[in-house]
Amino acid sequence: MSSQFALLKTRRFGPFFATQFLGAFNDNLFKNALVVLLTFQAAQWTSLGVGLLANLAAGIFILPFFLFSATAGQLADKYDKARLARLVKLLEIAIVLVAGAGFALHSLELLFASLFLLGLHSTLFGPVKYAILPQHLHQDELVGGNALIEAGTFVAILIGTLIGGLLAGTNGGTLWITAGCLLVAVLGYLASRGIPGAPAPEPGLRVNLNPLSETWRNIGFARRNRTVFLAILGISWFWLYGALLLAQFPAYAKDVLGGSESSVTLLLAVFTFGIGIGSLLCERLSGKQVEIGLVPLGSIGLTVFGLDLAFASPAGVAGAALPIGALLQQPHMLHVLFDLFALGLFGGFFIVPLYALMQLRSDPAHRARIIAANNIMNALFMVVGAGAAAGLLSSGLSIPTLFAVAALCNAAVALYIYRLVPEFLLRFIVWMLVHTVYRLDTRNIEHIPASGPALLVCNHVSYVDALVIAAACRRPIRFVMDHRIFHWPLLSFVFRTARAIPIAPARENAALLEKAYDEVAAALGAGELVAIFPEGRLTPDGEVGEFRPGIRRILERHPVAVLPMALSGLWDSPFSHSAHSALNRLLRLRPLRRIALNVGEPVAALEAEPQALREAVLELRGSEQ
């Protein structure tokens, strides 16, 4: 984790992180202070119900994302992002003055207007926030940078909500809220002055002020890459789910748990602490790469612990107003707090890889507008979520039941996304393989090209060789494999999802052999990676067998670079031929078995003779033993 924290000391990240942190802190200080005031002093401000007020405030805050994100994305693609950040911070100072006037005049309308304007401030900063990271960070820093931004955001939420809740409960709190927000806004502007320049990718862009047509255009940019668009849908669903939970916390603390004003802050603290920890763990769990295999893991946790939170909640103890010390002594509280922490933790696993994936695979010329499309979708989902929650609560649904409904919907949305893009589920399976059964060491993995076609050749030691190689390489690989292994019951789903290419000897199925060569040619022609095991079978003795001449036939049709690779440490594993029986396989199954994948230098197609490639694999295998 130390490498990602080192970014905080750099000028290309540190001032931007401070600007973002202070902005998120200010938004939540004001928003939570306002919600707590309206929850516990509602009669002084309005006759509306507490639950309706909380969801109304959440909806007002995120409405500008839906209305103005398209314009914000254009501005971030047209102008220097560092300059825009400074202008947005000046706007924040003016907004705080409007909020102060609302408190002084005891005007709920003016306070909601300032909440709307704070949402506008965040809307304008959103495309800058995520589009600037790929400009200032290297690719292997992108996950760590996003993790710090997400963790920092939720730590800012934690501290902002803590201080906002405390100030809301003090005498003369409105004056302190205004002064605190103004101080933070000024500090945010000063921090923004240290952000280095981030030149505009399209300075000649003509800004379209029509939000409807530009919104549709931005969504069109996002839809050009299906994976990016579905990542945006996943991010948007997370914010709907998270915003729905957060909006219920004041009423949940008061009416279900029987807590006081300070108990709202406790719930938010535990939840946001979990998200911060989950976000920071992403870099370590993903090996500094964009590991979308963490996304299904996150979605499982969001569903399981969302349901458990609903079942762990008490029937309701309205009016108790217990202080934190007394509340923590209640038998259900530790269970509730654990569920909230777990929801945050798995939320971090879910959201960080999706943000990094969206940034990495977006067209740089349109990146800010694609991020604007993401913000539009986020806003749409959260507005719908706030409206649905308000409607369900008004119809008599309890808050714990609302949590259960949200968790079940989360499972349905996750299954829908993974059905459309099996790459998420495939990466999850291979990630689980190498983090529970094996400990995979990779060497020279950077030899595999980031784009364009290449032929990978590797020794064949076990039934899971393809999964191990797929886990090591973040690019999708088309594996050519024996048709019998392709149809192996436990792994056939994985191989089909990965679009593996089954092959058979000519004497067994000549038509399948020809079809395999045609598919390999099509894949290489489309710029994909293709991997083959040129021994033609699993090794019967752990040694590297002779390479078959099919390599030459592949390269004659598409003379691409060939990368020799060597697997070691798998021969005595339960998935190799050395385990002769099911019992022997079971006895050999031990967690975190150390294995290695070594990737050699690319070999030109004209020099890629089978015998030469075999010798290269033998040399690579020997260097790992």
The mean per-residue pLDDT over the stretch 343-370 comes to 83
Which two structure tokens, joined as six digits, stand for 96? Answer: 């705080």
Nearest alpha-carbon partner for 607 in 565, 566, 562: 562
d(CA 378, CA 232): 8
Q: 455 pLDDT band (50/70/90 cuts)?
A: very high
Comparing 380 with 187, the larger pLDDT belongs to 187
Q: What percent of the chain has pLDDT over 70?
A: 90
Q: 40 pLDDT band (50/70/90 cuts)?
A: low
Tokens 């004056």 locate to: 175
CB-side exposure of 410: number of CA atoms within 13 Å?
Answer: 31
In this predicted structure, what is the pLDDT of residue 145? 80
The mean per-residue pLDDT over the stretch 341-361 comes to 86
Task: Say if strands 593-599 and 438-443 run parallel, antiparallel, or are unpaired.
Answer: parallel
Instruction: Specify burial of residue 107 (Cβ count, 10 A radius: 0-12, 13-18, 19+).
Output: middle
Q: Which amino acid is at 280?
A: L
47 contacts: CB under 8 Å, gap ≥ 6: none
Q: What pTM did the predictor assign?
A: 0.72
Longest CA span, the chain: 89
Cβ-contact 215, 72 below 8 angstroms? no
The SS3 assignment for 506 reads helix
In this predicted structure, what is the pLDDT of residue 320? 64
d(CA 623, CA 617): 10
Q: 296 pLDDT band (50/70/90 cuts)?
A: confident
In this predicted structure, what is the pLDDT of residue 261? 67
d(CA 591, CA 506): 39
Nearest alpha-carbon partner for 228 in 424, 436, 514, 490: 424
Please state the three-class secondary structure of 593-608 as a single string.
EEEEEEECCCECHHHC
Is pLDDT of 408 > 50?
A: yes
The mean per-residue pLDDT over the stretch 321-327 comes to 75
Q: How far from 369 is each of 137, 202, 358, 589, CA to CA, in Å?
A: 19, 11, 12, 49
In this predicted structure, what is the pLDDT of residue 3? 62
Comparing 204 with 10, the larger pLDDT belongs to 10
Nearest alpha-carbon partner for 286 in 5, 529, 474: 474
Is pLDDT of 288 > 70?
A: no
Cβ-contact 35, 57 below 8 angstroms? yes
d(CA 113, CA 122): 14
Cβ-contact 549, 610 below 8 angstroms? yes
The mean per-residue pLDDT over the stretch 89-95 comes to 92
Select the highest-mean-pLDDT range: 106-120, 166-180, 247-261, 583-597: 106-120
Tokens 């292994």 locate to: 485
Q: Is 260 left (phi over 0), alpha (psi -120 to 50) or beta?
A: beta
Which two structure tokens, joined as six digits, stand for 292? Answer: 């979308």
Mean pLDDT of the chain: 82
Cβ-contact 605, 528 below 8 angstroms? no
The C-alpha R_g of the chain, in whole angstroms, comes to 27
Tokens 């981030």 locate to: 198
Comparing 40 with 120, the larger pLDDT belongs to 120
Element holding 23 (H helix, E strand): helix 14-40
Q: 64 pLDDT band (50/70/90 cuts)?
A: confident
Which two structure tokens, joined as six digits, stand for 126? Answer: 């959103």
Nearest alpha-carbon partner for 285 in 298, 274, 272, 303: 298
Which two structure tokens, joined as six digits, stand for 56? Answer: 């109304």
In this predicted structure, what is the pLDDT of residue 624? 44
Q: Which long-range contacts (C-beta less than 8 Å, at least 24 apart) are formed by 97-104? A: 97/182, 99/30, 99/177, 99/178, 99/181, 100/178, 100/181, 100/182, 103/174, 103/175, 103/177, 103/178, 104/174
Q: In angstroms, how far is the first alpha carbon of the chain from the final one?
A: 29
In this predicted structure, what is the pLDDT of residue 583? 44
Give the count of beta carbons closer than 10 Å to the beta carbon of residue 490: 8
Nearest alpha-carbon partner for 365 in 204, 244, 493: 204
Is pLDDT of 149 > 50?
A: yes
Cβ-contact 248, 402 below 8 angstroms? yes
Is pLDDT of 265 > 70?
A: yes
Select the highest-mean-pLDDT range: 7-21, 194-208, 464-478, 584-598: 7-21
Is pLDDT of 190 > 90?
A: yes
Select the highest-mean-pLDDT range: 321-335, 419-433, 513-527: 513-527
In this predicted structure, what is the pLDDT of residue 383? 79
Is pLDDT of 431 > 80?
A: no
519 contacts: CB under 8 Å, gap ≥ 6: 478, 501
Q: What percent of the chain has pLDDT over 90?
A: 15
Cβ-contact 97, 186 below 8 angstroms? no
Task: Say if strands 562-568 and 593-599 run parallel, antiparallel, or are unpaired.
Answer: antiparallel
Q: Which amino acid is at 423?
A: E
Is pLDDT of 581 > 60?
A: no
Is pLDDT of 1 > 50?
A: no
The mean per-residue pLDDT over the stretch 196-218 comes to 79
Q: 77 pLDDT band (50/70/90 cuts)?
A: confident
Element holding 455 (H helix, E strand): strand 454-458
338 contacts: CB under 8 Å, gap ≥ 6: none
In this predicted structure, what is the pLDDT of residue 316? 62
